[in-house]
Amino acid sequence: MAEGRDRNFNLGVAAMAVGLVLALVGALWAHFTGLSEFDDVGREIYPNIPRGWAWVLIGQLVSLGGVLILMAGTTLAFLYGKPLTWARSAIGALLF
């Protein structure tokens, strides 16, 4: 029984790390693809970064997916398979 809890904790922490990285990458992706192509003087900035609403939307979806994986990892690491207390129930309701 304890091995299962340790396994769930390790998987949950790994999912939290992956979710955090995905959320940050997606947020940066959405930010940089949403920038203007030209600065105030009219010079082109960041010419190698693709622009357009589709790229921004993809970055936002990656970020949202990362946040959801982060929440699922938190649930798996700290709530799944453990006896429910008031504090754990409140955290589970907040995550839900």
Per-residue pLDDT of the chain (96 residues; tens, 9 = 90+): 566 668 888 999 999 999 999 999 999 999 999 888 888 888 888 888 888 889 999 999 999 999 999 999 988 888 888 888 898 888 888 877
* Rounded CA Rg of the chain: 19
pLDDT the model gives residue 96: 76
pLDDT the model gives residue 1: 52
pLDDT the model gives residue 31: 92
C-alpha–C-alpha distance, residues 92 and 80, integer Å: 10
Listed residue (66, 70, 51, 59) closest to 26, CA to CA:
59
pTM above 0.85, yes or no: no
Q: Which amino acid, 3?
A: E
C-alpha–C-alpha distance, residues 31 and 11, integer Å: 30
Q: Do residues 76 and 15 touch, judged by C-beta distance below 8 A? A: yes
Q: Which two tokens stand for residue 49?
A: 């970064």
